[in-house]
Amino acid sequence: MSKTVLFALTSHAELGDTGRKTGAYAPEFAHPAAVFSDNGYDIEFVSVAGGQAPLDGIKPDDAITQSFLADPAIAEKLSNTPVADALDPADYDVIYFAGGHGTMWDFPGASTLANLAAEIYNHGGVVAAVCHGPSGLLGVTLPDGSPLVQGKTVSSFTNEEEIAVGLNGVVPFLLEDALTDLGAKHQKAENFSVFAVTDTRLVTGQNPASAVEVARQAVDALAE
């Protein structure tokens, strides 16, 4: 029986008041999708607002992302993403919150998406997130009402990385701080290096370079 990973994408396309566009960072789901596919997973998507998901980070020399987005079946799914309350959590084994700066605006308040992730986790599934994707974890709670991240070791895009890309004054908050404020034990490596961590079926990674490692650890976490 095949398994299914659900990539959760932002619907927010404006990078604060900079006049620049943002969205879901495509390599952060395109590259890990290959890992999941190689392990027999079906690939599905959900977004905060549904419909066409705004994408960012598509580079001409990134053959993996280019090929993934050129797949007609994937293109169709990305053009018409469902919203969380249209989905049955029992259909998914892993939910993977892809990053992109847009997530910082709409993931934290996306209660139906958070509830979907909580249900997937509660029935034994894996919750994964990379880079700014862990902003989607801020509203995920366990049945006792405690935050999913409380007491767990996590990673995310770091304060230092946000400063390094010059967007610490643009994003509405610093993700590392927000996770720590909820009681998470935040870990990190050097700026922009590969780093991911697993804690009790919660898998998180630091930055775009860590997306594939998050997928690998998610596959392993579900197999345990």
Catalytic residues, which ones? 131-132, 162
Judged by DSSP in three states, 166 sits in coil
User: Cβ neighbours of residue 189 under 8 Å, at least 6 residues apart?
Assistant: 195, 206
C-alpha to C-alpha distance for 66 and 156, rounded to whole angstroms:
25
C-alpha to C-alpha distance for 110 and 107, rounded to whole angstroms:
5
User: Cβ neighbours of residue 201 under 8 Å, at least 6 residues apart?
Assistant: 121, 124, 125, 126, 127, 221, 222
Phi, psi of 185 (to 5 degrees): -100, 95
